[in-house]
Structures are given as structure tokens and as C-alpha cells.
């Protein structure tokens, strides 16, 4: 596919993206001064570079803002001892009422992950790498880059009223959790990167259960054991699972007729090693990695270990290690005569383009970034000839050669999980979209609709080139689809999409159950509600090992990395990367505050 794009203009150094986490850059503004005595940086720069790439590069770059701020020059303006303490345990400084850390937390309402597991000499090596590399490249920090000011085009716009964000009430119920199994350890921090659960129905009414680890393996779960079914790392030359929270094996799904045709679909990341993408970035734009959609054909679906072939369907470039291909699911229709049968839906984030300062790469039907695609894996009328464009796609008949006819809907920041609510004619596709500035969203996905990112989030408008600049949406802005449900960042920080419960716990039936990745909170909403939007969200407590508790206490970490899964019988599970454990939801009890 040869998609032509205009050259990317030089970056505007006044651009300063919003920070999702409590991060180092704000230290400068809290202190307002530079250390009088130049500290010595004696760490191992080679070790520091390796550790930076492993633990820091997913959020930080030395030259440009990303999910977190650029770090070039930071060591020249903040005291060494404070930096060492903050990196190793930011939450402790906040709890100890440290002025700098507290100001950051009050503004961003989230903790930077703790790196207390790293010895102090390794943290110093990271900071030494930042310091000496900044010196050699002449990188400095200019405080004007973070000033919040109004641009001319929004100076007349109305200030946002954040009180309009709906409050989450407690349901007065707590889910009861029981340990299901511990996943194999695949790394140090976290011990495993377990992410999604899938099932394959069998003719006898039972089902096979699978789960994937982002470090490259799909496991079959059976009798309390996890057996590697397919390892992508062993079968792809350039597979990478770091650095980055959004790298590795992104997700997988089975074809509805898997037991007959053996087809499995995966999305994963690779190093950009000269393989031409179907979606290239503009001239002069550095490619961080490539996302690939692959079709695998198992020669014998009855066997517990994959043996077969693979075919690449789609490859795209992304400018950062964030917000890539997130989820893939098939249509939920079972009638083979229905035009939606066998269609594959693919949720793709904006690739971090907006926070990297390239907002023009998304929020467009000329780009797959920030979209949900709908393709026919059996077809071949796409621009690369490797899959089909369904004839009833909203842009299938466009005469514009630059339009991505695969697009089903667009304007998403990071559609973490997509799923179906309801069945038959009442079925609705739902996307849980991870937010940036103020809210986390659940959106009902309608064909051809625009969900507004990077110009809208929640009920608020955004200036995509000054992302801290919010304003109230006017009537002329109401062309965007507004959220089906949402919650604010005082409640959670990154939505973890879920499913509609249809299992044995009657109190949960017909409710969409989901969570928050960072805080580990669990929520639900009425999936068959006829109430006007936004539909109310309620929180569920947690009851585990005979007591009321929460996921931070269970996993022993301020970042829980919570995911929701379900099996073929409708049972639900919680999965935490922080401790690599799957827990089964077995019931509900009246809630009590821990």
C-alpha cells in the first residue's frame, strides 16, 4: 500500500503535551531554582542507557515529549539527591507531604510507578546517562515549554466546567475473588505481562481457554497449568516487547470457525528494519516501531501446540511506543448469511502522535491511527491485496484514493478494548477509550462516526497543539459522538475495558464490568439501560481471602495493571501484571470500606 503523506513540518518547541503520570518535569516548577553546587554523576553510562531503554523509554525521550516529558537537561536543574529519591519511591514522597511531589500529585492525581526494586547505583546510572548524553548533545530544558497560555484561536472560548463530569457512586457490593492460577514468570518487572483471555467453544458445550503475555506467548490454560500454545518471539525475526507499556504481543483472537479452519489473528510490534509499511510516516519523522496484523493457520486445531503457517495482513509505522494496535475481535453474529459474519474489527490508538507533537497524523480518514478498522480476512481488494474491504463499510465507495476504506469509525485516542453489548439486532460495538486530560470513556461505536480525539475528550474541547488547553464544547462542536459513559481522573487514570456479564452471579447479569488499569478499581454499568447518556457508572469493592481490601494491597504495588477476562461459560476473572496472578470472580457480598 502506498499512502502518500505531506512532509511533517518542523516541531513547534512551544508544544508541551499533558502528562498522564506524575513525572519529573514538574519538579522544576515546584522548586523554582537550580542547585547551587553542580553534582557529580559517576554512574555507569552504558548500564544507564540499557536501563533507560528498559524502564524509562516507554514514557520518556531525551529530545521530545511523549507519554511523559522529555528528560534532556533535567539533571542540570534539579538536585541529585531529590531525583534519586523520587525515582525510587515517588509515592513515599507524596505521602510524606514533600512540597514538590505533593504539588505534582494534586495536579495530575496519579503516581509515577515506583522503581524501588532498582538499587540506587542503577538509578544513578540512569541519571548519569541522561546527564552526560544531554551534555554531549547540548540538550537543555527551557521552562517556557511548559507554560500554559491561551492560543489566539481559543482565547474567546468558554473555560471548561469539570464539575460536569459524572461522579461514580459505590454499588454497595463487593466482588468475591479466589485465586485461579499464577502465570509463568517471563520477566522481572512485572513478572508477567498477562493481558487478554479468549475462549474457543467446543461441540460438547465445553470450551478451550487461552491467555496471552505481551512478551510474546499465547498460553492454553487447563487444569491449573499454562502451556505455551504459540510463541511469536520464536517465529518472528524482529519481534520486540520493550521498551514500552504498549509493545510486544498486543492481542489475539480466534476465527469463529477455528476448529475447522485453524485461523488465529494476532497483533504485535517489531523493530523498523527496512520492511516497507502499508502506512508510512511523513518525511523526516522517526519511526519508533511497527505494528503488524498477522493471520496464522494451525494445521491441526485439535493439538495443544500450534504448528502451521502465517501470513502478514497489515503493517503500520508509529512515531512512539504508545497507543498502538490494541484489540481485535470478530463480529458476534452467528448467521453465515449475515454480511457482518466473519468480519474482523481492529482497534488502533493514535500511536502517541498527538502527545509527540504530530496531531495531524490522526483524527483523519486518511490515516489508520486513532481508528477502528473493519476488514474481511478472506478478501483481497485492499490496497496491499492481503485482505478485503467489506462493501458495506462506511467509506468503501469513496473516490478519494487517500481514504482508508477499512475505517469503521475514527477519532479515538487509545481504544484499549472493544467488545459487543447485546445480541442480534440489539448488538452494539463498545470501545473503552483511554483518556489523556480529564476523563476515561466508554463509547458506542457507530459506523462512519467521529469520536473527536484529538479535538475532544469527554465534554471538553482540546487544542491538539496545546493539550493543557481545554474549553467547553460549543454547538458547532457537537458533530462528535459523545461518550456512552465516562468517569473523571479523580476516580481512575486509565480504563481497562471489559465485557457484559452473563454468568451465574445474578447481581452482575446484564452489566458491563470493567476497571481502571492503574488504580485497580472495578466498575459496572447497566448494559441494557434505557437511560439517557451518559449511563451511570458504579464502583464494585473487592473481597479477597476473607476480608474487604483493594487491588493495591493485594498486589503490593501502587500500579496494579488490572485487566478483565472471561471464559466460555461466562465466568469473569481479574488479571494483574503486578503479581502475575489470575483471580476468579465467584460471587458478591455487601460492601464494607477496607
pLDDT in tens, 310-356: 999 999 999 988 899 999 999 988 889 999 999 999 999 999 998 88
The pLDDT value given to residue 1: 41
Of 245 and 440, the one with more pLDDT = 440
Helix (H, G, I), strand (E, B) or coil at 128: helix
Report the alpha-carbon distance of residue 302 to residue 253 in Å, rounded.
17
315 exposure class (CB count in 10 Å sphere: 0-12, 13-18, 19+): buried
pLDDT band of 166, cuts 50, 70, 90? very high
Strands (E), 191-333: 194-201, 207-213, 217-222, 225-231, 249-254, 263-270, 289-298, 308-318, 325-330
* Structural domains of the chain, ranges and CATH numbers in brackets: 24-146 (1.10.760.10), 164-497+510-590 (2.120.10.30)
- What contacts 493, CB < 8 A, 6 or more positions away? 20, 21, 109, 110, 440, 516, 517, 518, 519
What rounded mean pLDDT belongs to the chain? 87
Report the alpha-carbon distance of residue 594 to residue 574 in Å, rounded.
19
If you write DSSP's letter for every residue of 330-379 in order, what string do you get? E-----TTSTTTT-EEEEE--TTTTTTT-GGGSSSTT-STTEEEEEBTT-
The pLDDT value given to residue 5: 35
541 Cα distance to chain centroid: 24
Residue owning grid cell 465516562: 486
The pLDDT value given to residue 110: 60
Report the alpha-carbon distance of residue 223 to residue 244 in Å, rounded.
33
* Mean pLDDT confidence for 477-502: 92
314 Cα distance to chain centroid: 20
Beta bridge partners of 544: 177, 547
Beta bridge partners of 374: 345
The pLDDT value given to residue 77: 81
Percent pLDDT > 90 in the chain is 62
Say yes or no to pLDDT of 144 above 90. no
pLDDT in tens, 493-524: 999 999 999 999 999 999 999 999 999 999 99
The pLDDT value given to residue 532: 84
Percent pLDDT > 70 in the chain is 87
- What contacts 196, CB < 8 A, 6 or more positions away? 211, 212, 251, 252, 327, 563, 565
pLDDT band of 67, cuts 50, 70, 90? low
pLDDT in tens, 12-49: 333 333 333 334 444 444 444 444 456 788 899 998 88
Say yes or no to pLDDT of 379 above 90. yes
The pLDDT value given to residue 25: 44
pLDDT in tens, 414-439: 999 999 998 767 789 999 999 988 99
pLDDT band of 108, cuts 50, 70, 90? low
**Residue 420: its H or E element:** strand 415-421
The pLDDT value given to residue 66: 55
Say yes or no to pLDDT of 54 above 80. no
The pLDDT value given to residue 564: 98
For the entire predicted model, the pTM comes to: 0.86
**Residue 261: its H or E element:** helix 258-261
* Mean pLDDT confidence for 79-104: 80
- What contacts 509, CB < 8 A, 6 or more positions away? 501, 502, 503
The pLDDT value given to residue 111: 62
- Output the CA–CA distances (angstroms, integers) from residue 221 to 200, 233, 260, 298, 574, in the order listed: 12, 20, 21, 18, 15
The pLDDT value given to residue 448: 97
Residue owning grid cell 500500500: 1
The pLDDT value given to residue 23: 44
Say yes or no to pLDDT of 282 above 60. yes
214-247: b (≥16 Cβ within 10 Å) or e? bbbbbbbbeeeebebbbbbeeebeebbbbbbbbb
**519, 453, 531, 571: CA torsion to nearest 10:** -50
The pLDDT value given to residue 65: 59
Amino acid at each position: 500500500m502506498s499512502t502518500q503523506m505531506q512532509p511533517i513540518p518542523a516541531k513547534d518547541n512551544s508544544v508541551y503535551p499533558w502528562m498522564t503520570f506524575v513525572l519529573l518535569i514538574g519538579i522544576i516548577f515546584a522548586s523554582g531554582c537550580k542547585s547551587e553546587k553542580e553534582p557529580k554523576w559517576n554512574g555507569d553510562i552504558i548500564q544507564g542507557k540499557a536501563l533507560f531503554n528498559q524502564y524509562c523509554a516507554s514514557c520518556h525521550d531525551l529530545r521530545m515529549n511523549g507519554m511523559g516529558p522529555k528528560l534532556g537537561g533535567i539533571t542540570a536543574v534539579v538536585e541529585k539527591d531529590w531525583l534519586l529519591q523520587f525515582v525510587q519511591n515517588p509515592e513515599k514522597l507524596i505521602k510524606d507531604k514533600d512540597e514538590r511531589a505533593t504539588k505534582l500529585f494534586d495536579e495530575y492525581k496519579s503516581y509515577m510507578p515506583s522503581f524501588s526494586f532498582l538499587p540506587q547505583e542503577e538509578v544513578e546510572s540512569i541519571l548519569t546517562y541522561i546527564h552526560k548524553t544531554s551534555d554531549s548533545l547540548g540538550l537543555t530544558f527551557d521552562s517556557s515549554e511548559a507554560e500554559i497560555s491561551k492560543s489566539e484561536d481559543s482565547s474567546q472560548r468558554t473555560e471548561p466546567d469539570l464539575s460536569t463530569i459524572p461522579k461514580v457512586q459505590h454499588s454497595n457490593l463487593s466482588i468475591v475473588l479466589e485465586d485461579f492460577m499464577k502465570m509463568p514468570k517471563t520477566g522481572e518487572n512485572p513478572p508477567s505481562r498477562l493481558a487478554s483471555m479468549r475462549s474457543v467453544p467446543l461441540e460438547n458445550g465445553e470450551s478451550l481457554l487461552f491467555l496471552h503475555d505481551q512478551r510474546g506467548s499465547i498460553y492454553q490454560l487447563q487444569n491449573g497449568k499454562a502451556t505455551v500454545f504459540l510463541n511469536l518471539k520464536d517465529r518472528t525475526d524482529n519481534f520486540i516487547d520493550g521498551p514500552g507499556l504498549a509493545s510486544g504481543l498486543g492481542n489475539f483472537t480466534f476465527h469463529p470457525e477455528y476448529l475447522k479452519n485453524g485461523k488465529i489473528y494476532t497483533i504485535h510490534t517489531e523493530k523498523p528494519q527496512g520492511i516497507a509499511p502499508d502506512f508510512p510516516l511523513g518525511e523526516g519523522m522517526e519511526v519508533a516501531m511497527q505494528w503488524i496484523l498477522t493471520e496464522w493457520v494451525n494445521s491441526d486445531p485439535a493439538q495443544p501446540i500450534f504448528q502451521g503457517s502465517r501470513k502478514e495482513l497489515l503493517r503500520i509505522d508509529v512515531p512512539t511506543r504508545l497507543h498502538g494496535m490494541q484489540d481485535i475481535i470478530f463480529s458476534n453474529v452467528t448467521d453465515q448469511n449475515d454480511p457482518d459474519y466473519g468480519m474482523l474489527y481492529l482497534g488502533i490508538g493514535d500511536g502517541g502522535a498527538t502527545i509527540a507533537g504530530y496531531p495531524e497524523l490522526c483524527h483523519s480518514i486518511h490515516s489508520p491511527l486513532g481508528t477502528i478498522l473493519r476488514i474481511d480476512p478472506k478478501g483481497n481488494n485492499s490496497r496491499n491485496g492481503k485482505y478485503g474491504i467489506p462493501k458495506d463499510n462506511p467509506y468503501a465507495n469513496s473516490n478519494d484514493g487517500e481514504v482508508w476504506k477499512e475505517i469503521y469509525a475514527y477519532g479515538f485516542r487509545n481504544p484499549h478494548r472493544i467488545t459487543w453489548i447485546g445480541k442480534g439486532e440489539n448488538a452494539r460495538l463498545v470501545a473503552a477509550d483511554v483518556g489523556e486530560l480529564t476523563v476515561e470513556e466508554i463509547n458506542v461505536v457507530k459506523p462512519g462516526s467521529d469520536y473527536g480525539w484529538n479535538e475532544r475528550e469527554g465534554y471538553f474541547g482540546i487544542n491538539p497543539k496545546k493539550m493543557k488547553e481545554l474549553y467547553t464544547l460549543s454547538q458547532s462542536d457537537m458533530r462528535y459522538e459523545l461518550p456512552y459513559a465516562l468517569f473523571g481522573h479523580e476516580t481512575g487514570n486509565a480504563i481497562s475495558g471489559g465485557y457484559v456479564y452473563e454468568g451465574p452471579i445474578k447481581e452482575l447479569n446484564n452489566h458491563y464490568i470493567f476497571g481502571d488499569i492503574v488504580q485497580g478499581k472495578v466498575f459496572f454499568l447497566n448494559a441494557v439501560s434505557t437511560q439517557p447518556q451518559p449511563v451511570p457508572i458504579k464502583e464494585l469493592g473487592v473481597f479477597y481471602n476473607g476480608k474487604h481490601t483493594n487491588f493495591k494491597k493485594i498486589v503490593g504495588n501502587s500500579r496494579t495493571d488490572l485487566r478483565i477476562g472471561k471464559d466460555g461459560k461466562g465466568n469473569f476473572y481479574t488479571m494483574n501484571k503486578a503479581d502475575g496472578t489470575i483471580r476468579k470472580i465467584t460471587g458478591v457480598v455487601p460492601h464494607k470500606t477496607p
